[in-house]
Amino acid sequence: MISRDIIVAPSILAANFARLADEIHRVERAGADWIHCDIMDGHFVDNISFGPEIVSIVRKQTKLPLDVHLMIQRADHFVSRFAKAGADSVTVHVEREANHDVAKTLHGIRDAGCRPGLSLNPATPFAAVEPFLDEIDALLVMTVHPGFGGQTFRPEMMDKVKRAVHWKESHARQIDIEVDGGINAEMAKLSIENGANVLIAGTSIFHAENYSEAIQNLRGI
């Protein structure tokens, strides 16, 4: 049996937006720990989702922490807007920040009152985030290429999770290690076994008949 210390964060990208408030209330009652908001602008990834206004609406529907994942260009320009909308944590991509000041963006997130996170895509080596691990509260390992839900989990990404765990233990740092993409019960178990403690899941929760069972299955209980 896997510990309930595992954090499950349903991604509302997979929710029914025609009844979004009800969807949020249902996953909250079902035992969700966070609500995950995928923000996409059609440039950094080939899809468009929603902006600060929707995050503000979500904030009014729940007291759960809002975990905002910025898959957008000029993420640093929007941090304050998402913070004001109610984000508790804001994650940016190391790839987007390649020609920007990553540390400055992360500091800006913390200064805005949010937990800073950094994400890396499947094609990005772990070495790209290593210089910034001391600056973050969460590392998000993408287990699919970002932009669309319902993709197949890439188990080779567990090497990055293991390297993150090794860094965390060797530096005595408390950072969340998150996985996102294709997370079903089987892949959740694999991720947890390799050291991830935050499971971001959309389709496997919002397309299930019973949200409580779906979340319990991800936890492994």
DSSP letters for the chain: ---TTSEEEEBGGGS-GGGHHHHHHHHHHTT-S-EEEEEEBSSSSS-B---HHHHHHHHHH--SPEEEEEESTTHHHHHHHHHHHT-SEEEEETTGGGGS-HHHHHHHHHHTTSEEEEEE-TTS-GGGTGGGGGG-SEEEEESS-TT-SSPPP-GGGHHHHHHHHHHHHHTT---EEEEESS--HHHHHHHHHTT--EEEESHHHHTSS-HHHHHHHHHT-
- Contact yes or no for 3/221 (Cβ under 8 A): no
Residue 76 annotated among the catalytic residues of the structure:
no
* Catalytic residue status for 33: no
Say which of 38, 76, 137, 176 is annotated catalytic: 38
**Catalytic position from the list 33, 76, 176, 180:** 180
Rg for the chain (alpha carbons), in Å? 16
Best CA proximity match to 143, nearest among 102, 66, 204? 204
By annotation, the residues acting in catalysis are 38, 180
